[in-house]
Amino acid sequence: MRHNTLYIVVPCYNEEAVLPETARRLKAKLASLQQSGQIGPNSRVLFVDDGSKDATWSLISDLTAEDSHFGGLKLAHNAGHQFALLAGLTAAHGRADMVISLDADLQDDIEAIDDFVDAYHTGADVVYGVRSSRETDTRFKRGTAEAFYKLMGLLGADIVRNHADYRLLSARALAALLEFEEADLFLRGVVPLLGFNTATVPYVRHERFAGESKYPLKKMLAFALDGILSFSVQPLRLITGLGILIFVCSVIALFYLLILKLSGNTVEGWATLMGSIWAIGGIQLLCLGVTGEYVGRIYKQVKKRPRFIVEALTLTEKQEVSL
Ligand code: UDP
Ligand code: MG
């Protein structure tokens, strides 16, 4: 049997509405897994407060004070979901034999944790939770998600369909993940790059049981853009292709104009001229923009700013505590 200390890492941003219930359910889950011997007594739920403005941290502090199965990590500012998760994973590194990442709203079915841990014990280092249906999503979210996967597929990035950030990593997979120093982190793109033995566990995703989504449309689009730009240079190549295409067209047009000139028909439409100036101007700006997006990311990367800043970590390292 492999070593079996489990850390469940839960990023929380303004989650006071869901936290007490989430803590209650996760504690029950830890207890049942401990009873069946699948996980060890030092297993924990580690809540990461991602710079919340509500009572999230005080709730977490209360939980950690009354029960050593809960740990808390407070970030000094809102680092964003991916970095909050990374902060929690970094804290779990060296303490856990396996980590599971899970959203605070319990949209991801926690019953799947049993299967995750089973897969770990049968040798998997990376276990992906994959949604078996998207029925609880709005039509809009389903449509945009589908378009995103199609686009990522076309651009050649390898991501697991319908898998978000609900996954298990073994200690060595986690160590490998922490080697990546991406300033724009898109975990679901990085994890497939790790290799190792992988397994997938299907689960049904529920609706949030309280509180609101912390991913409004703007954040969702920014996240999708990070996914595309940090995993594919294909858009830059498309720009080159577009440039070549426009050049070839202009050469053809030049020949056409030459023929017109030679045949004496030189009075041509003003509209065509204006149209093409605007069209080409637009395309150039777009291409500059795409190139700029990459340059901006390089800029961020070379500055090597810390990706998150820890303000406090509460973890009671007591041995042999029972629930
Ligand atoms: N989250 C976070 N920092 C942020 C935004 C979100 O830690 O800046 C957390 C949030 O508390 C939740 C998870 O990331 O645990 C996923 O967010 P949410 O459930 O709001 O997204 P959705 O499920 O609607 O895509
Ligand atoms: Mg959610």
- For 102-159, what is each residue's pLDDT tens digit? 999 988 999 999 999 999 999 999 999 998 877 777 888 888 888 888 888 888 777 8
pTM higher than the cut 0.75:
yes
Residues 6 or more apart whose CB falls under 8 angstroms from that of 140 comprise none
Ligand 1 atom 19, closest CA: 213
Which of 8, 13, 19, 223 most suits a substitution to test ligand 1, by most atoms within 8 Å of the C-beta?
Answer: 13
d(CA 142, CA 89): 29
Report residue 208's pLDDT band, with 50, 70 and 90 as the boundaries. Answer: confident
C-alpha distance from residue 38 to each of 1, 117, 151, 201, 227 (Å): 9, 7, 40, 17, 35
Q: Are 197 and 125 in contact (CB under 8 A)?
A: yes
CB atoms within 10 A of CB 157: 19
Q: What pLDDT, on a 0 to 100 scale, did the predictor assign at position 205?
A: 84
State the Cα–Cα distance between residues 323 and 321, nearest whole angstrom.
7
Residue 165 CA to residue 130 CA, distance in Å, equals 10
Which residue did the predictor score with more confidence, 140 or 180? 180
202 beta partners: 130
When pLDDT is averaged across residues 151-174 and rounded to a whole number, the result is 89
Percentage helix, strand, coil for the chain under 3-state DSSP, each rounded to 5: 50, 15, 35
Cα angle, residue 223 at apex, residues 158 and 141 outer, rounded to 5°: 90
- Give the amino acid at 169: L
Angle 87-90-96 from CA coordinates, rounded to 5°:
130
How would residue 1 be classed by pLDDT, with cut points 50, 70 and 90?
low
Average pLDDT, the chain: 88
C-alpha to C-alpha distance for 237 and 246, rounded to whole angstroms: 14
Confidence (pLDDT) at 49: 97
Exposure string of 301-319, with b = 16+ CB inside 10 Å and e = fewer, is eeeeeebbeeeeebbeeee
- The hierarchical CATH code for the domain 6-214+306-314 is 3.90.550.10
Q: Are 111 and 132 in contact (CB under 8 A)?
A: no
What secondary structure, in 3-state letters, does 201-234 show? EEECECCCCCCCCCCCHHHHHHHHHHHHHCCCCH
Block residue for tokens 């996954």: 167
- CA-nearest residue for atom 13, ligand 1, is 103
CA 302 vs. chain centroid, Å, equals 21
Instruction: Specify the 3-state DSSP secondary structure of 191.
Output: helix
Tens-place pLDDT, residues 80-90: 999 999 999 99
Burial of 140 from C-beta contacts in 10 A (0-12 / 13-18 / 19+): exposed
- Cα-Cα-Cα-Cα dihedral sign, residues 36, 38, 40, 44: negative
What ligand is nearest to the CA atom of residue 208?
A: 2
Other CB atoms within 10 Å distance of the CB of residue 146:
13
91 backbone dihedrals φ, ψ, rounded to 5° = -70, -30
For the CA of 214, the closest atom of ligand 1 is 20
pLDDT bracket for residue 267 (50, 70, 90): low
- Nearest residue (CA) to ligand 1, atom 8: 80
Q: Give the distance (Å) from ligand 1 centre to CA of residue 82.
A: 9
At residue 238, the pLDDT reads: 85
**Cα dihedral sign for 53, 54, 56, 57?**
positive
What ligand has the least distance to the C-alpha of 16? 1
pLDDT at 217 (0 to 100): 83
